[in-house]
């Protein structure tokens, strides 16, 4: 389902009110007026097959009234897809399901990917298993899109909580439409048409023996994606660089590339662009991997946290 949403700027009456740059620091302070139109638009949405409770002005909603392990009708799945595109990440609570039911629901949204670097659920190879404990800590606590080092990165991902600690282990999501809209016009002009190089090496390659690293680099060579992409489901522009997998911006000197990447990646850091989800057993998060970045807090060591993720293959990122 494709829903084209127009690019929305600040309210006319708010043009003299908005964030300002903090002197000597690349930070914004003040009201984030670029969020207003999107927040008002989302407030008007109504749904036939479920209820939605929003988590923040522009990103995140909990959907109720659905059992996602059931054999849902096509029109229900279509409405869930639309909710995903509108809210950027959607959540379901109290959804006990088997690994087979997880992959069956995820596959309603497209082909599922196999991840070459993270261990799978042995019964369902297309489920990546994140099992953290005293022996294996969580290292996903940085803002990132998943697998942008692929030529065809994930469209979205569905994460199921199998076992969670009593406290900690929340996941945060950041709105990359809002991140782009927060940029000043000079920066938007500067990054228009630029491409970034994405590579798995600095994350998954860190502990590989040299021969294994070379073999995997031949299988998954560095790829180039636009710094600013147009979402194929909404027609909206969003940032598409992240600290985990973006190596550099093509055509810029190393220092210039590093400084620009840092400035762009900082847009994910603002709480005004984020929502935060507190997990419970059998909760599910479904995020649009193009429209959001995510951050898994690593504050629960040495307690156990087990999650399983199915990822839906996407298309080539487009300008």
CATH topology (fold) of 12-313: Double-stranded beta-helix (3.60.130)
Catalytic residue among 198, 231, 294, 305: 294
Residue 4 in this model has a pLDDT that exceeds 50:
no
Catalytic residue status for 144: yes
Long-range contacts of 248-251 (CB under 8 A, 24+ apart): 248/196, 248/197, 249/194, 249/195, 249/196, 249/197, 250/194, 250/195, 250/196, 250/197, 250/224, 251/194, 251/195
**Whole-number pLDDT of residue 122:** 84
Catalytic residue among 81, 146, 175, 199: 146
Interatomic CA distance for residues 71 and 75, integer angstroms: 12
Res. 287 pLDDT band, cuts 50 70 90: very high
Res. 116 pLDDT band, cuts 50 70 90: very high
Res. 129 pLDDT band, cuts 50 70 90: very high
pLDDT in tens, 178-218: 999 999 999 999 999 999 999 999 899 888 899 999 999 99
**Whole-number pLDDT of residue 29:** 87
What pTM value is reported for the model? 0.92
pLDDT in tens, 79-113: 999 999 999 999 999 999 999 999 999 999 999 99
Catalytic residue status for 309: yes
Give the DSSP per-residue string, 68-114: TTS---HHHHHHHHHHHHHHSEEEE-S----HHHHHHHHGGGSPBPP
Residue 304 in this model has a pLDDT that exceeds 60:
yes
Residue 11 in this model has a pLDDT that exceeds 50:
no
* Residue extents of the structural domains in the chain: 12-313
* Proportion of the chain above pLDDT 90, given as a percent: 85
Res. 5 pLDDT band, cuts 50 70 90: very low
Long-range contacts of 316-319 (CB under 8 A, 24+ apart): 316/151, 316/152, 317/153, 317/225, 317/226, 317/229, 317/240, 317/290, 318/226, 318/229, 318/230, 318/232, 319/193, 319/226, 319/228, 319/229, 319/230
Residue 264 in this model has a pLDDT that exceeds 60:
yes
Structure-model confidence comparison of residues 175 and 9, the more confident one = 175
Backbone CA torsion sign across 299, 301, 303, 308: positive
Structure-model confidence comparison of residues 119 and 290, the more confident one = 290
* DSSP H or E segment with residue 186: helix 185-191
Catalytic residue among 115, 145, 225, 309: 309
Res. 6 pLDDT band, cuts 50 70 90: very low
**Whole-number pLDDT of residue 15:** 56
Catalytic residue among 144, 145, 225, 236: 144
pLDDT in tens, 242-257: 999 999 999 999 999 9
* Proportion of the chain above pLDDT 70, given as a percent: 95
């Amino acid at each position: 389902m494709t829903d084209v949403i127009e690019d929305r700027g600040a309210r006319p009456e708010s043009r003299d009110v908005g964030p300002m740059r903090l002197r000597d620091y690349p930070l914004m302070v003040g009201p984030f007026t670029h969020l207003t139109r999107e927040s008002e638009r989302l407030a008007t949405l109504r749904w036939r097959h479920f209820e939605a409770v929003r988590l923040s002005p522009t990103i995140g909603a909990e959907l109720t009234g659905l059992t996602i392990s059931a054999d849902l009708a096509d029109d229900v799945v279509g409405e869930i897809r639309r909710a995903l595109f509108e809210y950027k990440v959607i959540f379901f609570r109290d959804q006990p399901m088997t690994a087979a039911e997880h992959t069956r629901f995820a596959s309603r949204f497209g082909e599922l990917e196999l991840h070459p670097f993270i261990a799978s659920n042995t019964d369902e190879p297309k489920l990546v298993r994140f099992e953290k404990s005293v022996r294996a800590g969580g290292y996903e606590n940085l803002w990132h899109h998943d697998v942008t080092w692929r030529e065809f990165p994930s469209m979205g991902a569905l994460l199921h909580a199998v076992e969670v600690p009593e406290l900690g282990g929340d996941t945060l999501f950041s709105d990359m439409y809002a991140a782009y809209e927060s940029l000043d016009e000079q920066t938007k002009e500067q990054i228009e048409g630029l491409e970034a190089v994405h590579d798995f090496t600095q994350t998954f390659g860190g502990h590989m023996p040299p021969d294994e690293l070379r073999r995997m680099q031949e299988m998954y060579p560095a790829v180039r994606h636009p710094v600013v992409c147009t979402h194929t489901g909404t027609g909206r522009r969003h940032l598409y660089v992240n600290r985990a997998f973006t190596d550099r911006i093509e055509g810029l000197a190393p220092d210039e590339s590093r400084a620009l990447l840092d400035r762009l990646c900082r847009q994910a850091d603002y709480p005004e662009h984020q929502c935060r989800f507190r997990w419970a057993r059998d909760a599910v998060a479904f995020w649009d991997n193009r429209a959001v970045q995510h951050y898994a807090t690593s504050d629960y060591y040495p307690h156990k946290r087990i999650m399983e993720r199915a990822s839906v293959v996407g298309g080539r990122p487009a300008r």
